[in-house]
Amino acid sequence: MTEIQLGYGKKYLAFSFDETRYDVLSGNLNDTQPLSDAEIGEALSAPIQSLPLEDLFSGNDSVLIVVSDATRATASAQILNLLVRRLIQAGVSPADLAIIFATGIHRTVTSEEKLELLTPFIVQRIKTIDHSAYDASKMISLGTTELDTPVEVNRALRDFSQVIITGAIGFHYFAGFTGGRKSICPGLASARTIEATHRLALDFVNGGRRAGVGTGLLEGNPFHEECERIAALIEPRFSINSVVDERGRATRVYAGDWRAAHQVGCSEYLTSHSIAIDQKREVVIASCGGSPYDLNLIQAHKALDMAAHACSDGGTIVLLAECSDGLGHPSFLKWFDEGSSKALERRLHDAYEVNGQTAWSLLTKSERYRVVLVSDLPDDQVLYMKMTPAHSLTEALNEVGGESQGYIMPHGARLLPRAAG
């Protein structure tokens, strides 16, 4: 028997398994080393298709830095410390600097999370701004896109002469990848704009996802392209996107032009964070990777989506997701009132909401696979979402039973299995 530690919240669950039955899908993710301050500094000094920071900013600038919220691991504490110091060295006054959290429709970042995301040093010296997608007084209108999407974004994006976006590159089940343009939309967009862009991911004529929408897909992806159009209206001066390890430490940094650097990062991420499998198997045991990837169910769903790439139809997925923050949105559970994903899709056509699409995506998987969820969520909520609740990994494995062949995915949301054919 072999033992593996699987992330669950801020702790690990030990799993002893038979190597003749399970293969571990981990790729080369454990071989990467965290970057030093000097190595990150080198990336800022030699950016992709951009002048160095010192040539882009001066004492005449006011600068807004966009930072992800606590649902994303981005190594922001290390990166922001280096970035702020470089901007000050370039002549930008600390009084002309501000940091805004790209929360989209997520909850506001707490005081404790700000300290963790930015460090006390930055919080004490640089102004921070909270975004609320539902507060019209904080929004400005930039018109509409060619697809008639209303463009409403946080007015702070126009209150400063320059904008820097930061974030992390990872897989996303319909945006293709996180990072880049998502710092602006949906990160700092109004609820109305977020709804209009997210709606583009579904095909309400033929059913299911639109062509081009999916994990690891950018070219021809209507959601990605619309978010890029909106970000282009802001024209960020500089961008920094990281790739992080399971502890949230930066292992790669892509700095420079907000489009070009993101595209390079996504291309390399697809190569380094995907793994070929000969065939799908009947059992997949997937950890989200621990906190913050399993902070709530909406975030944890991303690991479920990745596990589905490795599971055969009718098989069982055991998902380890603590969900210490609950479902992720108060309205999430209401979408499971519908009896099927088809019925839910019709409801979304008539009354679309962003979290309804995540519910639809989850429901399509609980219909296609048997999903056993190990979490802190109440059993009645898990059952209502058409999943089987379990209170421990041992209990979940008893649900699996049999001698079926399976995979173990310790890095759930960060590794894409790619089946032959």
Does residue 271 surpass a pLDDT of 80? yes
Please say if the pLDDT value at position 331 is more than 90: no
Domain CATH for 332: 3.90.226.30
pTM above 0.85, yes or no: yes
pLDDT tens per residue across span 279-325: 999 999 999 999 989 999 999 999 999 999 999 999 999 999 999 99
Asked if the model's pLDDT at residue 420 lies above 90, the reply is no
* Domain assignment present for 32: no
pLDDT, position 330:
86
CA 179 to chain CA centroid, Å, is 8
* 258 & 355 share domain: no
Q: Which two tokens stand for residue 228?
A: 């890029």
Which residues touch 15 (CB under 8 Å, ≥6 apart)?
A: 3, 4, 5, 6, 285, 393, 408
Is residue 144 one of the residues assigned to a domain? yes
Same domain, yes or no, for 240 and 344?
no
pLDDT digits (tens, 9 = 90+) for 60-106: 999 999 999 988 889 999 999 999 999 999 999 999 999 999 999 99
- Per residue in 338-388, pLDDT (tens digit) is 989 999 999 999 999 989 999 999 999 999 999 999 999 999 999 999 999
Same-domain pairing of 281 and 310: yes
86: domain CATH number? 3.40.50.11440
Looking at 243, 271, 299, which one is the last position of a domain? 271
**Based on the domain organization, do 250 and 301 belong to the same domain?**
no
Overall number of domains in the chain: 2
Residue 105 lies in a domain: yes
Domain boundary among 271, 306, 335: 271
Q: How many Å from the N-terminal Cα to the C-terminal Cα in the chain? A: 32
Identify whether 234 is part of a domain. Answer: yes
CB atoms within 10 A of CB 250: 26
Residue 90 included in any domain? yes
* Banded model confidence at residue 129, pLDDT cuts 50, 70, 90: very high
> Does residue 354 sit within a domain?
yes
Q: Are residues 239 and 203 in the same domain?
A: yes
Please give the Cα distance from 416 to 215 (Å, whole number): 8
- Whether 264 and 195 share a structural domain: yes
Same domain (yes/no): 254, 281: no
Mean pLDDT (the chain) is 95
Strand (E) positions, 145-295? 150-154, 162-168, 171-172, 176-177, 238-244, 250-256, 274-277, 281-287
* 398 shares a domain with 291: yes
pLDDT by residue (tens digit) across 206-261? Answer: 999 999 999 999 999 999 999 999 999 999 999 999 999 988 999 999 999 999 99
Task: Give yes or no: residues 254 and 400 share one domain.
Answer: no
Give the domain range for residue 407. Answer: 2-27+277-419
Q: Is residue 50 part of a domain?
A: yes
The candidate with the shortest Cα–Cα distance to 377, out of 362, 398, 361, is 362
Q: 234, 255, 271 — which closes off a domain?
A: 271
230 and 307 assigned to the same domain: no
